[in-house]
Structure formats: structure tokens, C-alpha cells
Amino acid sequence: MADDRPAAPDAVERFEHMVEVAGRAQQMMLEFWTREGTGPVAGTPAFDGLSRMTDLWADWARAFASADPARLARLSGDYWTDALMLWSGMMAPGQKPAEPVKDKRFQGDAWSEAPVFDLVRRSYLLASRYVMEAVGSFQGLPPEEQRKLDFQAKQFVDAMSPANFAALNPEVLAEAQATGGESLLAGLSNMLADLKRGKLTMTDEKAFTVGGNVAATEGKVVWEGRLFQLLQYAPTTPQVFETPLLIFPPWINKFYILDLTPQKSFIRWAVEQGLTVFVVSWAQGSEALKDAGLDTYALEGQLQAIDLVLQATGAKSTHVIGYCVAGTILSATLAYMQATGQAEKVKTATFFTAQVDFEDAGELLNFIDGPTPETIGQLSEGKGYLDGRYLATTFNMLRPTDLMWNYVVNNYLKGKDYVPFDLLYWNSDPTNVPGRFMQEYVGGMYSRNLLVQPGGIHIGGVPIDLSTVQTPAYVQAGRDDHIAPAISCFKLTKAFSGPQRFMLAGSGHIAGVVNPPSAKKYQYWVLPEGEKTPATLEEFREKATETPGSWWPDWIQWLAPQSGEKVKARVPGKAKGFAAIEAAPGRYVQERIA
């Protein structure tokens, strides 16, 4: 007999509320597509970068033709055996199969409390393991193609996680039930806003202001040109070292990664050590810079900035730091200066996560193939620059679970509010890059590895030979760097012929650099004083001594004896010809991609 009793009032109210939420969601979607059309979605870097991964089906189809049939058959049989054991274990009363490998995506109790979601979780982890093993069964493939297939398989496996789908994620369903569907509506609003912007939002960007609570170290812009502004920071000590410090940040990101909060600022800390600190703040890529290539950043950028610092301080030489791509080009600039009799202008060179030999350049190689430079040309055609959001999406795809899907789940599926985090704010502030430079950099370095070949590239018509560089060098690498792997950065020690100190820092591309002593985090490895750098990174690891905490004190202990006598502190804006133009951090760094 049917139950004709009326539903409880609260159940009716919940149902009515869910209907209302569904209607509001439908209205939001209708307004978005009416207002924006398909252009802002299909044409955005975030969409286009992800859509390229669909090419993996064609790649896999070709690769499976070369697979070992016997191994594939064995893997298939093993998978079905394990899958049946999983199902039988889940169905047997009072029994459960062994707990799979811990995975932070499924740490919540909801994944194991309900049998259906426990089965979904375990089935996914089992299938993922066999997918990765199957990719390893291909035979006779070139190493670069096998590497690309491994990378694509990992991207596919991460994307297919049940945590990324609302109907398969018990935490998402619980949140929706608890909020009457409002969490899904908030997530939809977040997603539509990101589609319009063309990039994934990771943090509350309204919580930060460049020049306010980030990039706030006191200083002045003392020179500017079409390519960069030169910033000089105010001293905090009555005397400073005679030799100044000039920092070249990468122009594919903004310099304030080295000047986040006061507690994390490398720039502020360097000033406190008694250094006169200058920083180059690069201009956004624009049509006005469409002619900017390797030569431009080496000569009009780095060499000109070196000359300006020497003029502003009256010093005979300067220390320089090159971070990431700026370090790569700095190596070529130093070789050019050696060849043209200008090497004495640089006292020492420090390299933060910089590569010169790209043979082991890591997972970024998976995005590089023959047509890539032409593709960059197409993406920058008509405007002269590559939209920085393409690069940001590419870097995020190197760690998709942490830098993409984590935010999809929290902000789109659960509708969570964005949490303020200065590092993620910087990461969400990408920079446009001149198309010509990107073509030359990707084609010359990643595709053809020309920089380590004597005469492989020319700067200002001069053939570049890194082995001629005798400038003392401090080479930093990050143990867990996913952008510039430690094994690749280590090769810089073999490129130069001068004295050097190699240091391996704990953590990765950013945290391995931005690790102030006050944080008391991570560790670093160096060789005993005076010991020669070995031939391989493996040998270095065996001989090196581990020290807990920040490596910054080790760097200043290396730098200070090479910095000359102490002189009266230099005040920015007071040197002849270098009057203050505006307060740091200047206009260039505050320009954001619309």
C-alpha cells in the first residue's frame, strides 16, 4: 500500500530550496553564455592548454601497436584478478581488502565510511596503477616519446580521479546536502568567473596589493626604459659593502617573488646584510617589444643594467643574481662580456634554479616538440607577445593534483571561499612574454640545446662559449624542483671554468629559493669548504653535508669576503643622473593581464 502521508515540512522546504538553487544555476549559465558567448572560453589559455592533452589518444594508439603483447595480456589478467579480489573483499561480510597506498585526495573519512565510495576510491587507485604499468610495456620507442607518454598517462590518471567529479565525491555531496545546494551554486559562480578570466583562481586576490602588503620593501625607481625599470632599495645599515648586488628575476614572472611579505623577502634580508640592492623590474610583453629576443634581454637588458648600477654607485664591479630563465641568459651575457673584454664588471654571479644544459630539463620537455616554436608564433601573431596565462597553465600542469585539481574540487565543486596566500597571489599574476624571445628560447634551448654548444648561439654577433666564463659562481638548485630539475641545474657547474660553490636546497623551484632563516624550514647540502665539485649530482649527494634551515646565511658567508670594504650607505635617488622616478615597486610590476 502506498504511503500517502505528506512529506515533513523540513523535507518540503529542502526540496523547494533545491529547485530554487537549480533555477538560479540555470539563470547564471544562461546569462554567462548570452553575455560571453563561446569566445572567452574556447580561446582562453586555460582551456586551450588543457585541450591539448586530448591528443594523447592518438599518441597512445600508435604506442600500443609497439607494446609487448605477452606483457599486456599478463597485465590485463592481473588487473582483472585484482579487481575481482577487490569486489569480493568489499562484498564479503566483515571483510575488507588491504588498504591501498595513502593518497591525500582521499584522506577524508567519507571516502572509507560508505562502502560505495570506498569501492570507487579503491577501484580508481587499482586502475591507475595498471594504466601506468601498461604505458611501461611499450617497446622500441625513442626515449623522448616514452617520456611524453608517461607524462600524458599521469595527466590522464590525475584528471580521472573520482575526487574531481561531484557525483563521485562524497565530500562534495555532503557539502551540497548541508548547504541545500548553495555550495554547488557558489562553485558554479567561481567556475564561470574563471572561464571569463581565462585562468584558474587559486587565492583571494583582493587580499593583496602590490606595493602594499607584498613588494613593500622601501626603495625607488632610479631608471627606466622600454624593457625594464631599475629599482634601488633604501639601506637599513649606516655602512654597506662597496660591491653592490643586482638581481635579475625571470621575465616570465614578476620580481616580487623575492619581495613577498617582510618576513619572506630575500630583497629586504639582503639589504639588512649591508648590501646595496638593485632589482630589474621587467616590462610586460607587448607589441612595442615584439622585436625582443635573446640578444635584447642579454644586451639591452642585463648588460645595460650592469652598466647602470656601476654608474649609480661608482663601484668597479657588481654581484649579480639570475633566477630561472634570467640565469640562463645571464650565463650567455657573462660569456659575451668575457669575449668583449668586460668580464671585470661582474664580481660574482649567483644562479637560482637556472639551466644551461637542457638535456635533462624535466617534464617541461613534454610540452616541447618540433612544431612548438611555430605554435608560439601563431599564439603571438598580430600582437607580438605570448599571453602569460599560457605559461601559467603549462607550469600548473606539471603538478596537476596540487596546482589544478585541488582548486577545481575546493572552489568549483565544494564552492569554498578562496584563502589568502601571498605565494599563490604571485603565482596568479602572470606576465606576457615577447613572442620572438619565446620562439628563440624554446627552439634554441629546449629543442636544440644550443647554449652549451660552443658557438651554438650568438649574442650581438659574438659566438657564445660558456667554458670561457671565469666569474666566481654560486649555483643553487632545488631538490624537488619540477620546473628546473636539480640534475639539470647541477650541469651549470660543468659549463664554466671559474671557481664555484654548488648548493642543493630542500623543496622546489620557489620554496627552495624563498626560505628565510626565520622560517626554520627545510635544509640544504653543500660540500666541505675547499672540496672540488664532483662530476655528478649523485656523487655530490654522497659527499655533501646536510644543514637544517635556510641556505641564505651560507650564501652571504660566501659573498661577503668578495664584496670589498664598507662605505657610506647609498641612498636611492641621490646619485647624479639617477634621480628617483617613483617609489618602489614601480609601475611596470603593477601592470596585470586584463
With a CB cutoff of 8 Å and minimum separation 6, the contacts of 87 are 119
Helix (H, G, I), strand (E, B) or coil at 95: coil
Cβ pair 503, 476 in contact under 8 A: yes
Query: Residue 59: what residue type?
Result: D
Distance CA 98, CA 112 (A): 12
- DSSP-derived secondary structure for 546-591: EEES-SHHHHHHHHGGGS--EEEPPPTT-STT----EETT-SGGG-
Residue 302 CB-density burial (10 A; 0-12 exposed, 13-18 middle, 19+ buried): buried
Cβ pair 365, 449 in contact under 8 A: no
Distance CA 55, CA 62 (A): 12
Q: Is residue 489 among the annotated active site residues?
A: no
DSSP label at residue 296: I
Residue 357's nearest CA partner among 491, 267, 500 is 491
Query: Residue 120: what residue type?
Result: V
| b/e map 473-487, b = 16+ CB within 10 Å | bbbbbbbebbbbbbb
SS (H, E, C) 177-226: HHCCCHHHHHHHHHHHHHHHHCCCCCCCHHHCCECCCECCCCEEEEEECC
Q: Of these residues, 214, 324, 464, 503, which one is catalytic?
A: 324
DSSP label at residue 98: P
Cβ atoms < 10 Å from Cβ of 519: 13
Helix (H, G, I), strand (E, B) or coil at 544: coil
Residue 282's nearest CA partner among 303, 311, 252 is 252
Catalytic residues: 324
